[in-house]
Chains A and B, each alone.
Chain A
Amino acid sequence: MLQAPLKNIRVLDLSRVFAMPFAGANLADLGAEVIKIDTCQPQFMDTTRTITGPFPDNQPGELWWEQGGTFQNLNRGKRSLTLDLRSEESQKIIKDLVGVCDVVLENFTPRVMARFELDFESLRANKPDLIMVSNTGYGHSGPWSNFGAMASALEPTHGTGAFMGYMEEGEDGRLVEGEVPNKMGNSYSDFLATWTALGALMAALLRRARTGQGQWIDLAMYQTGTTVIGTGLLDFAFNGRRTLRIGNRHPFWSPHGVYPCQGRDQWVAIAVGSDEEWQAVCQAIGNPELATNPRFADPIERRQHQEELDQIIGNWTSVLTSYQVMNGLQEAGVPAGAVLTAKQALTDPQYLERGFFETVHNPPEVGLRSKGYIGRGWKFSKSEAEIKGPAPRLGEANEYILGELLGIDEARMKVFADDWTIGNLPEGGGAPGTVTLEEQEELGWIAEFEADYLGLLPPV
């Protein structure tokens, strides 16, 4: 019987949106009891409960605040306590709760935490060996420390756009390094913070186990994003180079890029790293002349003539599916991979064989079908790591946490319920409006949609 590594760890999760909630979800997968601090006041709710969606078949249901697909992925396996952090009583409950928790996760700006007296020094008074992760855009010190941040605008600020962008046509008509920065999007900076937080938190837990010391972790997403372009920063320090925007090309290998395949917006990535691999590509294309053409003899020549090569390879791939090209080239020992859509990922043999999508059942009243949720990038041979259950219903653990953990009596709980400090419903406010999928496609928010998607997914 495998044991969950964090089964005796209790986490107070004050965080919102993506980065830290996902860290909390991973801790729950590892067996920690993670208490999400929710609120009945819709204007202060975690936005993933309210506006992020997606809702089942794009229709927010009666219990819409429980239904968001992103919310469910990011908060699976947690407990929920509602509070109203504007009130001193709620702030006091947080402090008491810290006394029975091991870890606090939060992502308020320093100003907010200080106003609520929930900063590390105040909280540590109740828990001398507290470990707390404070995740902010720019950290708790320095001139920008009170600036708010969201991943979409933070990503270029932490410099990744200097090393990502399409190539542009130069004066002689050939492609040259691009001027316009691009971004990975998909809240990339948030996830860097998620993994960084987990790493730092585990280091602090390991030390606490040996010395009894707590630790405050002041995580700045701006810094996290800068650490992953260290090579680029050293290229500036030693060589004065500031950017590298070469599309899908590689500075040394060639051919290297994505090539169009059969179907709407389908692509395959091919990365040729050696002359043997190049010969194998020529074989696969079935063009022996290519193999002996001196213009493509080595990576230097191939880089020089990559536009021509891209044409030749693209002509070959465009009549095949991305999986056909991938499987054929892999068979011949060439690095190649289909550029998967989320739909393809959900049906991809490797993801399925690894059990990456874990089935979660919500209670029927929530109105969500059982479906696959996002797992983790690693597997343990001797420890349990799995999604423990759905995201918590709003305030589902109010009685357990306030009554059992903190010993608050029923009379006081009644007062909390009467003033909407605790509850299981939003205090007013309706379901968010949605934009029809037809309209979303027209606006370019989605690429396409399929009404019969359920039948196209593997059974859960």
Chain B
Amino acid sequence: MPAGLLEGFRVLDMGSGISGPWCAKLLADYGADVIKLEIPGCGDDARRMGPFAGDDPDSEKSLTFLYLNTNKKGVTLDPSTVSGRRLLDHLVADADVLVENNPPARSKELGLNYESLVETNPGLVLTSITPFGQTGPYNDFEATDIVTYALSGLMYHSGDSDQPPLRNVLDQSFYVAGATAAAATQVALFARLTSGEGQHVDVAVAQCLGAHLVQPLPYYNYMGAVKGRRPVRGAGFEELMPARDGYVAPSVQGSQPWSTIASLIGLEELQDEKFATGAGRVAHGEELKELLIKGLSQWDRKPLFLASGEQRLVFGMAQDAGDLAECTHLQARDFFVKVDHPVVGPAQYPGMAVRLPGETISGSQPAPLLGEHNSEIFGVELGYSAEDLVSLRQLGVI
């Protein structure tokens, strides 16, 4: 992790599943000191989500959990008990941020709403991530990723126009919301520099996705047009097309003339002037698509992608998890970090989206075992004795 753009900030991660933990992980990667608070016994919901390392459904082997909770310390604490609440208040008193993603009614029931927490720490930034926000007619709706994707307005545009709308990738809604929440949380910390006060940041997953509608929305309120899913007709550019060993995404975008594209693909017929303009490619779409398929069938994905880049074209290629793990470009950028977890062992994990030149990147800490840092945080930091910790455990508080 970097030596610390956010060094010195303390974040309490009471999130569960994906959105809250992803938000807190991003803050941890930027150097914040993040303590993950889990319910004793069961812990974070992500511990029960597959896939698991070695397909062994053990709560310390969930790959989603292992990925989303690196660089955090972990304690257990039940905030619905009197003693658990006292522990929480001790932690809240010294924290800058608390991230949670309970349903609004549940937060209130647990006393995790802003009005209760601000009494303990007026400087606290409380970030609540919920499917639709704290207010509005859907605020208590039950939701999973596909439901927020649907109600955001984004899913309708996903997939092919002759097929039903298609679900996104691996619970993407919650990654978009977590990343948005991480940014908004930091804006609130920045505001605190002048106001001296914390505040409540109310993040709505579906609206984070809705912010992506910068084309479909004006299509309707500028001209009454409903944008649909991707057309199945057309010449095949900007779409996934078959190459010899998988799929590629040929593109006419960028600043190079058609002749460069035609000569890259390498089929003489493509040099025809009638394909040289956008209008021409539309008018001769079917013919062009056939030629494109013929031309691409001579290529493997990667050589085509590399040749495109060399010629300042912007083709893409469909890569799977294995291709990415072996990608020499990502390796050259030191993207992957080696994480050694006491239960599942070492592996290469994806690192940060950004490089921060000048910052030293050190090794990544594995996700905490359930309650791994109870003694360190409650004992050493908060001053509870070994005896206290034993009673807290017996009471089921930690």
Contacts and interface: CB of A to CB of B under 8 A. Distances in A.
B151 A340 contact: yes
Interface stretch (A84-92, A218-226, A396-404, A421-429): A218-226
Given A235-B321, A378-B201, A182 B67 contact: no
Contacts of A69: 217-219, 221-222
Given A252-B50, A338-B150, A344-B153, A354 B330 contact: no
B309 A144 contact: yes
Contacts of A186: 154, 157-158, 212-213, 215-216
B362 interface: no
Contacts of A182: 158-160, 166, 240
Interface stretch (A33-41, A93-101, A286-294, A443-451): A443-451
B183 to A, nearest CB: 4
Given A215-B356, A337-B143, A349 B187 contact: no
B156 interface: yes
A198 B183 contact: yes
A381 B144 contact: no
B234 A57 contact: no
A19 to B, nearest CB: 11
B316 A268 contact: no
A273 B171 CA distance: 14
B91 interface: no
B322 interface: yes
Interface stretch (B104-112, B189-197, B262-270): B189-197
B354 interface: yes
Contacts of B392: none
A181 to B, nearest CB: 4
A161 B221 contact: no
A70 B217 CA distance: 9
Given A162-B320, A185-B158, A3 B194 contact: yes
A167 to B, nearest CB: 10
Interface stretch (B133-141, B290-298, B373-381): B133-141
Contacts of A335: 141-144, 147
Interface string B121-151: 0000000000011111110011111111111
A143 to B, nearest CB: 5
Given A191-B176, A233-B325, A350-B151, A156 B317 contact: yes
Interface residues of B, number: 159
Contact of A444 (B191, B193, B218, B228): B228
Contacts of A377: 176-177, 180, 184, 203-205, 207-211
A234 B349 contact: yes
Contacts of B30: 199-200, 203
A335 B206 CA distance: 14
B396 to A, nearest CB: 24
Contacts of B224: 57, 437, 449-454
A273 B144 contact: yes
Interface stretch (B35-43, B71-79, B247-255): B247-255
Given A252-B50, A378-B181, A207 B240 contact: no
Contacts of B197: 382
A346 B220 contact: yes
Between A139, A238, A242, A449, the greatest number of chain B beta carbons within 10 A of the residue's beta carbon is seen for A238
B170 A381 contact: no
A203 B9 CA distance: 11
A118 B23 CA distance: 33
23 contacts: A3-B191, A69-B222, A143-B332, A144-B329, A152-B253, A184-B154, A186-B213, A199-B26, A200-B30, A200-B356, A229-B321, A230-B350, A236-B322, A253-B144, A260-B164, A338-B150, A339-B150, A340-B152, A340-B156, A342-B219, A380-B201, A437-B223, A452-B224
